[in-house]
């Protein structure tokens, strides 16, 4: 246990950090906060230990935002990184005053209306584009062009089917580290399993037989610049905020793929897809037909019980042994 000076005991005492209730009236409404306090383990007095004030301020801030469902400072920071725009032009583009965003960043609470505008921009690049157009005259040409271009790039995330977008978001959430090549293979396995176990694909998009294995071309181009830890990428918020279009059965398949194939590197997964019929029997750079994928995984499913983790792991081991 830690020690610090207790002013009641007049000597160093052990203390414990506990959450204490705290009521405060803000604009006529009473809120119940739960804030950390350092309590002397000898006399029970509250102690003023290092960092406790900062911690309380942070908790107070976060809890008030939760009560009122207001955006957090981190979400606002994500917003200007996301659209490649400075604080002042972002403020103007959203239709706020020039210094409004910088005020929110130092801890002023945003109004409900402003908070909702910020949320919409975090969710939808199309909304951001319309805001930029509406307030174009208030922005410098270069700020406008940069942010508009970035919003157009982000909009491409919405050019895929809802199912494919939701599959990617779920894979990213399940696996904190994932390379662009591994992502391609995992999408392919999800699709193969869904065709074999359920008989329908999860998403309508087709993949092509590239030298590195099955690739969903558009996805590859869009996500190759994502960070190694996609959930740390500012753009992840767009994926994660969009609606989840998956059925429970589809989620189960994606989680199974994450728990099994997800443990291997893109290179190892490539060894597996290179030894499978659908990729081997498709000319390079052509579409791998869903019927081929279905036929292949149906036959694998008869030999290995693919719907279980143990069956899938047996299949992976067999493939890697060659
Ligand atoms: Zn004391």
Instruction: Kindly write down the DSSP assignment for every residue of 225-237, as one continuous string.
Output: TS-SSGGGSTTHH
Q: Alpha-carbon distance 59 to 54, whole Å?
A: 9
Helix axes 73-82, 112-123, angle to 10 degrees: 40
Cα–ligand 1 centroid distance for 38 (angstroms): 11
**pLDDT class of 225 with cuts at 50, 70, 90:** confident
pLDDT at 176 over 90: no
**pLDDT class of 233 with cuts at 50, 70, 90:** confident
Contact indicator for 97, 87 with CB cutoff of 8 Å? no
Cα–ligand 1 centroid distance for 46 (angstroms): 8
Q: Using one digit for the tens of pLDDT, what is the confidence trace for 142-158?
A: 999 999 999 998 898 88
pTM, entire model: 0.77
Contact indicator for 43, 6 with CB cutoff of 8 Å? yes
Q: Alpha-carbon distance 59 to 76, whole Å?
A: 18
Q: What is the per-residue pLDDT for 185?
A: 97
Q: Degrees (nearest 5) of the Cα angle 64, 65, 69?
A: 120
pLDDT at 227 over 90: no
Helix axes 248-259, 162-174, angle to 10 degrees: 40
Cα–ligand 1 centroid distance for 59 (angstroms): 24
Q: What is the per-residue pLDDT for 44?
A: 95
Q: What is the per-residue pLDDT for 10?
A: 96
Instruction: Kindly write down the DSSP assignment for every residue of 54-119, as one continuous string.
Output: HHHHHHHHHHHHHHHTPPPHHHHHHHHHHTT--HHHHHHHTTS-TTHHHHHHTTPPPPHHHHHHHH
Cα–ligand 1 centroid distance for 20 (angstroms): 17
**pLDDT class of 177 with cuts at 50, 70, 90:** confident
Q: What is the per-residue pLDDT for 242?
A: 80
Q: Degrees (nearest 5) of the Cα angle 248, 252, 254?
A: 115
Contact indicator for 190, 202 with CB cutoff of 8 Å? yes
Q: Using one digit for the tens of pLDDT, what is the confidence trace for 10-35?
A: 999 999 999 999 999 988 999 999 99
Report the share of the chain in percent with pLDDT over 90. 79
Q: What is the per-residue pLDDT for 210?
A: 95
For range 287-309, the mean pLDDT: 96
Q: CATH 3.10.20 spans which residues of the chain?
A: 2-68
Q: Degrees (nearest 5) of the Cα angle 239, 242, 246?
A: 95
Beta bridge pairs of residue 11 = 6
Contact indicator for 147, 83 with CB cutoff of 8 Å? yes
| Lowest-pLDDT choice from 157-166, 185-194, 204-213, 274-283 | 157-166
Mean pLDDT, the chain, rounded, equals: 93
Q: What is the per-residue pLDDT for 158?
A: 84
Cα–ligand 1 centroid distance for 69 (angstroms): 38
Q: Degrees (nearest 5) of the Cα angle 212, 194, 310?
A: 85
Cα–ligand 1 centroid distance for 150 (angstroms): 57
Q: What is the per-residue pLDDT for 226?
A: 74
Cα–ligand 1 centroid distance for 6 (angstroms): 5
Q: What is the CATH number that goes with domain 2-68?
A: 3.10.20
């Amino acid at each position: 246990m830690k020690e610090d000076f207790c002013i009641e005991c007049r000597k160093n005492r052990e203390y414990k950090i506990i959450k204490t209730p705290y009521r405060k009236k803000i604009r006529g409404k009473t809120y119940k906060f739960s804030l950390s306090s350092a309590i002397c383990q000898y006399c029970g007095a509250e102690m003023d230990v290092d960092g406790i004030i900062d911690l309380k301020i942070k908790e107070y801030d976060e809890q008030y935002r939760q009560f009122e469902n207001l955006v957090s400072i981190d979400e606002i920071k994500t917003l200007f990184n996301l659209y490649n725009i400075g604080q002042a032009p972002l403020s103007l583009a959203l239709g706020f005053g020039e210094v409004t965003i910088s005020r929110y960043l130092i801890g002023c609470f945003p109004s409900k209306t402003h908070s909702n505008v910020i949320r919409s921009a975090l969710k939808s690049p199309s909304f951001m584009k319309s805001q930029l157009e509406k307030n174009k005259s208030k922005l410098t040409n270069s700020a406008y062009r940069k942010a508009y271009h970035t919003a157009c790039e982000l909009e491409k995330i919405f050019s895929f089917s809802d199912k494919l977008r939701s599959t990617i978001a779920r894979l990213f959430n399940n696996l904190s580290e994932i390379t662009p090549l591994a992502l391609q293979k995992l999408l392919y396995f999800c699709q193969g399993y869904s065709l074999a176990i359920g008989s329908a694909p999860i998403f309508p998009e087709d993949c092509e037989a590239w030298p590195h294995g099955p690739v969903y071309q558009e996805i590859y181009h869009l996500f190759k610049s994502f960070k190694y830890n996609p959930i740390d990428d500012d753009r992840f918020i767009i994926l994660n905020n969009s609606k989840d279009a998956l059925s429970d059965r589809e989620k189960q398949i994606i989680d199974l793929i994450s728990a099994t194939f997800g443990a291997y590197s893109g290179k190892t997964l490539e060894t597996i897809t290179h030894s499978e019929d659908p990729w081997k029997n498709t000319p390079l750079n052509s579409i791998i037909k869903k019927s081929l994928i279905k036929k292949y995984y149906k036959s694998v499913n008869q030999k290995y019980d693919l719907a279980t983790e143990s069956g899938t792991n047996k299949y992976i081991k067999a493939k890697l042994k060659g």
